[in-house]
Chains A and B, each alone.
Chain A
Amino acid sequence: MERRKFLGMGLVAAAAILAPMTKLNAVNFREAKPKAWEIEKSVDAIKGMFGDGELKTTDKIKFTAPKLAENGGSIPITLSSDLDIETIALFQDANPRAATVVFSVPEGQKVDYSFRIKMRQTALVTIVAKAKDGTLYTLGKEIDVSIGGCGG
């Protein structure tokens, strides 16, 4: 009986050590960087989210978006890349707050996401990706919006 208890305790201890390690992968950016979500301008929001690091422009990330969006309420965006990316985020200048979405790419997975965003007006959309080695990549595209997205 004693031995059984001892083993059980060992398991609990191991689980306690392992738990924070698996947690490392899961970052809720709203909790980690609450201020960055309230910034209006993309440039400042990027600084708030990723720090002051140098941004490198890249063509290794594929970013598909329509040139002219007829409905600002639903603009399809596709992101894909073969680079080892840790975090990839989308910012735009059209709405009251710049940060739109931040994907944390889990270990061993590749970037391949499609989703839809809202934009009030024509503006520049910026993608910022942080690679595993800490390099920051960026690319942007202007999307023309003919009808405002935010209920207007």
Chain B
Amino acid sequence: MAKMKIKAKEKDGVVKVKAMFRSLMADKEEAEKKKIEAEYITHIIGKANGKVVFEATTSGFMAENPLIKFSFTGAKKGDELEFTLTDNHGKTKTGKKKIK
């Protein structure tokens, strides 16, 4: 399933995150056209220090390889940011990255 790239940087208490998740994001109709299996991320959750800092429920109408930028407060340099993805087949994947 999906691979992910995470970049997180802290400045003045605000952590800016750029995260890219590798996924085709193909919904039913699109998958039929391309003759592939439907595959898209349905749920993304991001945690820092065990606290939820980002959460999104997505559908196949997000662009391919969704790139999401967001910022949050309450974490500092060296803390670990963890993302968990769930796809339409119910598979999950986690990825971790230290905040710079």
Contacts and interface: CB of A to CB of B under 8 A. Distances in A.
Contacts of B64: 73-74, 118
Nearest to A97: B59
Interface string A52-86: 00000000000000000000011100000000000
Interface of A: 22, 25-30, 37, 73-75, 92, 95-97, 99-106, 108-110, 112-119, 149-152
B96 interface: no
Interface of B: 25-30, 33-34, 42-43, 45, 51-59, 61-64, 66-74, 86
B8 to A, nearest CB: 14
16 contacts: A22-B52, A30-B57, A95-B61, A96-B27, A99-B59, A100-B58, A100-B62, A101-B57, A105-B55, A106-B53, A106-B72, A109-B74, A110-B71, A114-B69, A115-B63, A150-B27
A114 B70 contact: yes
Contacts of A116: 62-63, 66-67
A97 B61 contact: yes
User: Chain B's interface: helix, strand, loop or mixed, by majority?
Assistant: strand
B27 A112 contact: no
B30 A150 contact: yes
A22 B47 CA distance: 12
